[in-house]
Amino acid sequence: MAEKLSAVKGMNDILPAESARWEWLEGLVRETMARFAYRNIRTPIVEHTALFVRGIGEVTDIVEKEMYSFEDKLNGERLTLRPENTASVVRAVTEHSLLYDGGKRLWYIGPMFRHERPQRGRYRQFHQIGAEALGFAGPEVDAELILLATSLWKAIGLTDVRLELNSLGQPAERAAHRVELIKHFEQHADKLDEDGKRRLHSNPLRILDTKNPAMKEVVESAPKLMDFLGEASLAHFNALRAMLDANGISYTINPRLVRGLDYYNLTVFEFVTDRLGSQGTVCAGGRYDDLIAQIGGKAAPAVGWAIGVERVLELLKEQGTDLPNPVPEVYAVVPDAAAMPVVLRTLQQLRAAGVRAQMHASTADGLGSFKSQFKKADASGALFALIFGADELARGEVTVKSLRDGTGAQRTEPLANIDQWLQTLQSAA
């Protein structure tokens, strides 16, 4: 017997019972995006490695440690499985000149890849839903994207999340803050962990985002970027806050919120929860006005966010949300294979009318006994069994037996006039 193969560690199968929940979530996402006039974009899973090095930042954890990169054996190109999708969206927008006639509101959904230690809600292949508004400079679009996320939470019934905000200002403001930040951490170098020491001169802002509790005091006492913001940056941030206040959106200002990607400026935000342990960020994003130019396009402002699908579904489970698990409405019990032509024709008529119908099919041992078919009908979760017995078929009828109301009541119905009894199946669903 051949060796049994299994999935790559951290890359999980999504089995039918679980994928039904994914489909439910994806459907609500599509409806919500359409209401906000965001249009779908689909980018390749594999991109040139240079896209992410240039777009995300060479000294970020993602580029340094987490990307799945490889050399194309045919032409020697350096390629990478996308670790996030904002850079890919910007590349597509730039390559196809989508901003030539004005700003674009886009959204995406799909798998991303990072070589991390697999843990709850965090996998090596994970899925993101993202929204990106490109070509718009005003804080009203920052607010719109936050309202888009909160509308999605309402649509799916997610309640236990809170919004955290910060502003990273502009590059010159961050540069001034960086000087003082390095001075501060140099004075407390003995309190930095190895990761903090490594980042001290390459990316000191990321030290503020440490999860090491031993560094809490030195981080809390560090200079605040907000104190270095100029008039324009503060005006942008305060205008955003005013719009959120007007819409009843509660939030907290978190000066340690810096995000893990180098391309952000001005507004950054996260929706977080305490229910998922250390993986508490459910949605994260912000403004990235310089990224389009970094990737080679004509400079244009942009802002967006991404949601971790696995984390959202985990959080819904934690809340006890009753997620859908669609089952057939009818299950066809077929005592004799000779009835199959009639069975298939009938089920096709029912399906065309919108009924979810499952047919009992033969195995290597045949159709199985009447009793075993009923067991499978019951296990399917169907509301009714349709029994295509020889006597019923001789009369041009089918027996409809209730499986879920506790009575086991059954009746016969004419096959020649399905519309006559179709509504009784649908009303019970």
Residues 119 and 84 in one domain: yes
423: Cβ contacts below 8 Å, ≥ 6 apart: none
- Taking only the tens of pLDDT, the chain with its 429 residues reads 788 999 999 999 999 888 989 999 999 999 999 999 999 999 999 999 999 988 887 767 788 788 999 999 999 999 999 999 999 999 999 999 999 999 999 999 999 999 988 777 678 999 999 999 999 999 999 999 999 999 999 999 998 899 999 999 988 888 898 888 888 888 888 888 888 888 888 778 778 877 788 888 888 888 888 889 999 999 999 999 999 999 999 999 998 887 756 678 999 999 999 887 766 889 999 999 989 998 889 999 999 999 999 999 999 988 888 877 788 999 999 988 888 999 999 999 999 998 999 998 887 677 878 888 889 989 999 999 999 989 989 999 999 999 887 777 889 999 988 888 888 777 665
Last residue of a domain, which of 319, 341, 360?
319
* Counted domains in the chain: 2
What does DSSP assign to residue 69?
E
3-state secondary structure of 167: strand
On whether both 251 and 102 belong to a single domain, the answer is: yes
Smallest CA-to-CA distance from 265 within 239, 245, 240, 285 is with 285
Report d(CA 216, CA 211) in Å as an integer.
Answer: 8
Same domain, residue pair 313 and 346: no
| 58 belongs to a structural domain | yes
Domain end among 283, 299, 319: 319
Considering Cα of 16, then 21, then 22, then 24, what sign does the dihedral take? positive
**pTM score, two decimals?**
0.87
Residue 300 sits in the same domain as residue 414: no
Domain annotation covers residue 190: no
Q: Are residue 145 and residue 40 in the same domain, yes or no?
A: yes
Same domain, 299 and 338: no
- Which domain does 402 fall in, by range? 330-428
Say if residue 379 is in the same domain as residue 274.
Answer: no
Q: Is the domain of 292 the same as that of 422?
A: no
One domain for residues 354 and 285: no
Residues 297 and 344 in one domain: no
Shared domain for 244 and 334, answered yes or no, is no
- 359 in the same domain as 234: no
